[in-house]
Structures are given as C-alpha cells and as structure tokens.
C-alpha cells in the first residue's frame, strides 16, 4: 500500500529525529534482555505456544483454559490465520469500516464477499446493532470488529458487548473481536470476549500496550 513508503522501516529509522507514531516495541539488543546466554537452549516449542504462557493468558478470563489459547507472532498473524481458516472464495463476512487494514484486505484477497458496517463520524462511530443485524446473511461466516475501535478509540459498554454476542449466536456465525487495545482503554476494561461464548474469537497483541 502507498502508506508503506512512509513507514519507519522503509523510510529509515536513522532519518527520523522524533518518532511520535511508533506503536510497537523499541529496538532492543538481546544482551539487554538476557545477559547470560550460555544456558539457553534453542529448539522448537509447542506448536500452539508455550503452555505456561497460554495458561497465564487464559487465567484472566473465567471459562477459558490454555486449550482455548493459540499463540502467534503478533495479532496480524492471528487475523490472517482466522481469515484463511474460516473463509473460502465466495464466502460472506461483515467487517466494520474504518478498520485495521488486515481485517479488511485479507478476506478480500481470499476472494470473499465483504460487507462493510460503516461507522460514521456524525454518529461518533457508535456501533449500530440493527444495521449490523441487517448486514448478516444466512451464509455469513463471521463479523469482524475492533474494540477499543481502531483507529478512533471509541469503546462499547459491557451490555453492548453482551448484545453483540447474543446477535451472532442467534445468527449462527462467529464474532471476531480484535482486542489489541483492550488494556489501553480508560476506565474498566471489557471482559475478554472469547470468555462469553464459543461463537467468539478474541485477538490481541503485546506490542501496542506493552510496547509503550
């Protein structure tokens, strides 16, 4: 995409005096993190992720266990895996717009029929459940939303999340909730959406909140 030409990686970090837009982790040297490497074993690990780490993630959500957690190299990889696992060419899905590009472009690249749930400035980018319900078809595989919303930061209330989950359950499709900024919200955090229903897939990341 054209925006890639302006990314720090392409433009060159050495040319940027004040980088006020970086949302991931500052470059680090391995010696700063692990001073002594003599006892480090380099080997393949569990294909779905380190078990104690998965247990730690699941421990923050009642009803989830390590078996419900899959570790990936960032949220982008998880979003790609979900889209390619659940969607085939010609399948239908609904995605909020505007949105993080991967949530839109991966399904489209996969040949999917994509309907946009338009979030509008004049409506303060609020979620319209009635509009969403009208966009869902009998053949819809999943609904893709982000909360806190990317890129506006708009939030939904717990009762809205519960109504959203009830909607996808009634419609017989999945809800993909990109929760990358969940722990950066003001006030109380929403529960991990995947803990509310087997019809919900939660995706999150370490780089945004913990990178800062």
43 or 138, which is more confident: 138
41 pLDDT tier (thresholds 50, 70, 90): confident
Token pair 């995409």: residue: 1
8 pLDDT tier (thresholds 50, 70, 90): confident
1 pLDDT tier (thresholds 50, 70, 90): low
142 or 35, which is more confident: 142
pLDDT digits (tens, 9 = 90+) for 138-194: 999 999 999 999 999 999 999 999 999 999 999 999 999 999 999 988 888 899 999
The DSSP annotation for the chain comes to -GGGGGSHHHH-GGG-S------SPPP--HHHH-S--TT-------TT--HHHHHHHHTTSTT--GGG----SSHHHHHHHHHHHH--TT-EEEEEES--HHHHHHHHHTT-EEEEEE--GGGTT---HHHHHHH--TTEEEEEEESS-TTT-----HHHHHHHHHHHHHHT-EEEEE-TTGGG-SSSPPPPGGGT-TTEEEE--STTTTT-
pTM for this prediction? 0.81
Predicted confidence at residue 23, as pLDDT, reads 66
pLDDT digits (tens, 9 = 90+) for 72-125: 988 999 999 999 999 999 999 999 999 999 999 999 999 999 999 999 999 999
């Amino acid at each position: 995409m054209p925006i890639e030409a302006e990314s720090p990686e392409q433009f060159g970090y050495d040319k940027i005096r004040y980088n006020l837009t970086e949302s991931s982790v500052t470059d680090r040297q391995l010696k700063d993190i692990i001073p002594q490497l003599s006892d480090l074993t380099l080997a393949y690990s569990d294909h779905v992720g380190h078990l104690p780490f998965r247990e730690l993630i699941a421990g923050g959500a009642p009803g989830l266990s390590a078996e419900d957690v899959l570790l990936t190299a960032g949220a982008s990889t998880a979003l790609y895996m979900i889209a390619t696992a659940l969607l085939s060419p010609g399948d239908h899905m609904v995605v909020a717009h505007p949105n993080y590009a991967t949530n839109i472009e991966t399904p489209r690249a996969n040949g999917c029929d994509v309907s946009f749930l338009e979030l509008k400035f004049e409506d303060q980018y609020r979620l319209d459940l009635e509009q969403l319900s009208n966009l869902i078809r009998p053949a819809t595989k999943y609904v893709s939303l982000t909360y806190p919303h990317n890129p506006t930061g708009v939030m939904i209330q717990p009762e809205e999340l519960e109504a959203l989950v009830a909607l996808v359950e009634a419609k017989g499709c999945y809800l993909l909730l990109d929760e990358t900024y969940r722990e950066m919200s003001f006030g109380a955090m929403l529960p991990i959406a995947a803990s509310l229903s087997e019809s919900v897939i939660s995706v999150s990341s370490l780089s945004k909140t913990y990178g800062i």
